[in-house]
A and B are shown apart, each in its own frame.
Chain A
Amino acid sequence: MAFVIVLVVVAIAVFVISAPLRAHRDHRRQEDPEAARVAELEFARDAKYREIRDAELDLRTGKLSPEDYGAIDRTLRAEAIEIMRALEASPAPHEE
């Protein structure tokens, strides 16, 4: 009985581990480095949006003066634009 259980476990393990090596699916997505780069850009874009929000929150909660906020906000938005330009230029599909 123990032998059978171990054999079944080994079979499942081999099946699961070898699946990518056996599969002939979606090579484009697996091998496409551009998809990973787009994912990073989207992540960076979302992080930049959060920073813009954080700066706005700092202004509204009185931590930043309007002048300081203006300078920081301009910098952050410029960085966001750069990221979005890079996303627009990417051939891979990306979320809007």
Chain B
Amino acid sequence: MAVVGRSLLILGLCACLYGIGASIYGARGGGRVWVDSGRRAMYVLAGMTLFAFVILDVAFITSDFSYNIVATGSSTTTPTFYRAAAIWATQQGSLLLWVLLLSSWSSLALFLTRRRIPEIVPYAQAVLFALCTFFTGLNVLFANPFATSANPPAEGAGLDPLLRHTTMMIHPPMLYSGYTLLLVPFAFAVGALISGRLSAEWIQVTRRFALAAWLCLGIGILLGARWSYTELGWGGYWAWDPVENAALMPWLCVTAYIHSIMIQEKRGMLKVWNISLILTTGTLAIVGTFLVRSGILSSIHAFVSDPTLNISFVGLISVMVIGSLYLVIWRKDSLKTDARLDSLISREAVFLFQNLLLVALTAVIFWITFFPLISEAITGTEVSVGPPAFRPFVVPLAILVVLLSGIGPIIAWRRVTVAKLRRSLTFPAVVALAVLAVLLAFGSIGPHVFALLMFGAGAFVIAAVAQEFYRGVRARRAMTSESPPVALGRLVRRNRRRYGGYIVHAGVAFALIGVAASTSFQDSRTATIRPGQSVMIHGYKVRYVRATASATAQKLSFGAVLNVTSGGHHVTTLTTSYGLYPSQDPTQGPIGRFFNGSAESRVGLRAGLTQDIWAVINPNITPLQGLIQKGNAVLQKALTNALAQPPAARAQALNQLYQLRDIAIEKLTGRFVTNPWPATFLLIVSPLVTWLWLGAIMAAIGGLIALWPLPPPRRRRPALRQRRRELAPEPEVRARELV
């Protein structure tokens, strides 16, 4: 089936090339049938890629080690779920996933637009095919997932312990979905520029793809943060790593885009801005994909660098940047508009400010992330700027963005009177000031000015959103006499984009309040203690109750049970462990390699609405090293003797030695319990971390609501049709349908 898989990729590449040709030929006068044929080629590409993906996934699940990437990416001892997801942990498999997702979303977009904007679609189709050609070409020419070996190993490489986490299996597909969904509005923007059809039509048909991209990227980023917090032993969720930033930048840009397109839809303004923004966002999606695979920036995430892939990606990014610039400059006259901002006190103005802030945030993150390359180009030396460099810029900009996300919902389009604005702002402003006053009076906030401002801004947003829901329900009930829950449900149902967006704003506010609190008021402590000893942190007494240890062929585990009390009352019991997976380094010795391989921390976590108590152990196995070295020497000598025996006796001798080795390892590991030595614990008490996760979930739900298609507008009554025929000045629309 590897041959079938490879053939499918080659056929897919042929379909891509045909699709480009058919789309352009159809657009240039060949007729609609060629465009339709090209669209079907996209369906075929998606189908073929899916088939290839299934073949590869079956190989992973069945542990078919004749496939090279299965041999290096899985093992029979890897749990089935992780085996099924292992396909995208490899370079080749992840590129295949990219093609599958891109062709699938493209198929959906082209199906939905098959009878719309006929001038734009062929060019958009060609662009999507060009991108599919690139990634399929990488798979066919440089990163073949179906390469096989004539002598497959009996057992494959195991799953790296750090990746044995559900979130890390879902994180890549979510990010790739976000990146590939962004390329749909990108392609349609290019199509609009080439065809010259620059009204809001292409935006309307691709808006949902941009929103879906925002949602998927956001979920992907959140899953990565959650993994970092619960799996890695450092207690944080965001490190401003270049690859983290590579996903954040397009997410910020698409956040700006989904707001600014509303201005173009309603007022015909910001055409140049919107088209430039989505072209930039699409390019950043490719830049993000490139960063993960290139190794050009020192990142904890980057895959092994492949120069061939790097050159290919740089080429594609260059084409996208130069092509985008050329197209926008070429069409600059068509992109002009006579519409102007009526007033600075309007929703348009707020959205525009918010856009500028989000783009400024993206520019700051881009500059600092790529600064090593920029500095090398200017000074000849790579200069790294660490995470603290982000704070003075990102935090104030983020506070302003949050504040504007509270003002936007309560201000109307076009213009608002000062009196109306004052009336709308009063309640949220009072709530914000009250929160600030309480915090200043009762909390030791003092020096944490930025955190305080974020709390105030967040409170403002939440109060503003609550006010909007209250006013909307009240307005509906005034017309319909529905009960509040029914009125709320129907209000949201008929105004999904608006109220879904409000929920997103509130969710983001909650999340950023959690970020501000957990980063500014975290209390952490490192302590080296023995069983029975205690350490104080943030008013809690943490007692090391007992050591735990276990040994299996796959993993050694050294752990601890911790009892947390406050004022003599039991708060929680935490269990943390440190896992060691065998190394393949022969210099470590036959016993030593079990104690000096890859490590994985199991965090002891008690998550609460107000704070998290987090603990991780570092057992420090130095006290065992002497015994390990002795064991190495003895076992190595015995192994040498056993290997020198005749074949008939060799197997039995080796089996006996391995059994003795396993017993020795178990006894060594058990010494951590029977003769426990001091272990080092990292203890963290962090306030409001849970608000980050809950806020993000809330934002995701809001995004889903905003994404959900509207019910079709009620069909007009005969009276309206009659009116229209008489060309009456005002169509009749019943008030009931409006809210």
| A residues lining the B interface (CB < 8 Å) | 2, 5-6, 9-10, 12-13, 16-21, 23, 30-31, 33, 35-36, 39-40, 43, 46-47, 49-58, 60-65, 68, 72, 77-78, 80-81, 84-85, 88, 95-96
Contact = CB atoms under 8 A, between A and B. Distances in A.
Contact of B48 (A13, A30, A51): A13
Given A62-B471, A84-B724, 20 more contacts: A5-B4, A16-B43, A17-B15, A20-B36, A36-B115, A39-B115, A47-B204, A52-B738, A58-B412, A58-B413, A60-B479, A61-B468, A61-B471, A62-B424, A64-B420, A65-B417, A68-B412, A72-B413, A81-B728, A84-B731
Nearest to A6: B7
B498 A39 contact: no
B739 A60 contact: yes
A60 B475 contact: yes
A35 B115 contact: yes
A5 B51 CA distance: 11
A40 B204 CA distance: 10
A52 B733 contact: yes
A72 B267 CA distance: 12
Contact of B412 (A5, A12, A63, A78): A63
Contact of B18 (A17, A49, A54, A84): A17
B727 interface: yes
A52 to B, nearest CB: 6
Interface string B236-280: 000000000000000000000000000001100000000000000
B413 A19 contact: no
Nearest to A29: B115
A17 B117 contact: no
A35 to B, nearest CB: 7
Contacts of B729: 77-78, 81
Interface of B: 1, 3-4, 7-8, 11, 15, 18, 31-34, 36-37, 40-41, 43-44, 48, 51, 115-118, 201, 204, 265-266, 410-417, 419-420, 423-424, 468, 471-472, 474-475, 478-479, 495, 498, 710, 713, 715-716, 721, 724-725, 727-731, 733, 735, 737-739
Contacts of B730: 77, 81
A19 B34 CA distance: 10
Contacts of A46: 713
Given A9-B11, A33-B118, A51-B266, A63 B738 contact: no
Contacts of A9: 7-8, 11, 48, 51
A78 B424 CA distance: 29
Contacts of A88: 724-725
A21 B4 contact: no
Contacts of A57: 472, 475, 495, 498, 738-739
Nearest to A3: B3
Contact of B416 (A54, A56, A64): A64
B738 A61 contact: no
A88 to B, nearest CB: 7
A8 B578 CA distance: 52
B53 to A, nearest CB: 14
Given A18-B37, A20-B33, A31-B31, A56 B7 contact: no
Q: In terms of DSSP, what is the predominant structure of the interface of chain B?
A: helix
A69 to B, nearest CB: 9
Contacts of B713: 46, 49-50
15 contacts: A6-B8, A9-B7, A10-B11, A17-B41, A20-B33, A33-B118, A36-B116, A36-B118, A49-B733, A52-B738, A54-B498, A57-B498, A57-B738, A60-B471, A63-B411
A63 B41 CA distance: 50
A21 B37 contact: yes
Given A2-B1, A35-B115, A60-B739, A30 B32 contact: yes
Contacts of B33: 20-21, 23, 30
Contact of B716 (A18, A43, A53, A96): A96
Contacts of B11: 6, 9-10, 13
B169 to A, nearest CB: 29
A20 B417 contact: no
Contacts of B116: 36, 39-40, 43
A77 B478 CA distance: 24
B29 to A, nearest CB: 12
Contact of B40 (A20, A49, A60): A20
Contacts of B414: 68, 72
Contacts of B721: 96
B117 A36 contact: yes
Contact of A56 (B4, B471, B715, B739): B739
A22 to B, nearest CB: 9
A53 B417 contact: no
A30 B36 contact: yes
A61 B31 CA distance: 50
B2 to A, nearest CB: 8
Contacts of A33: 118
Given A20-B33, A57-B472, A62 B724 contact: no
Nearest to B724: A84
A36 B18 CA distance: 25
Nearest to A52: B733
Given A40-B201, A54-B498, A56-B735, A68 B37 contact: no
Given A16-B40, A62-B471, A77-B730, A2 B4 contact: yes
Contacts of B735: 56
A81 B727 contact: yes
A60 B417 contact: no
Nearest to A61: B471
Contacts of A31: 31-32
Nearest to A20: B36
A21 B731 CA distance: 44
A13 B15 contact: yes
Contacts of A95: 715
Contacts of A61: 468, 471-472, 474-475
A37 B644 CA distance: 85
A64 to B, nearest CB: 5
B145 to A, nearest CB: 16
Given A61-B475, A77-B731, A81-B731, A16 B44 contact: yes
A88 B8 CA distance: 50
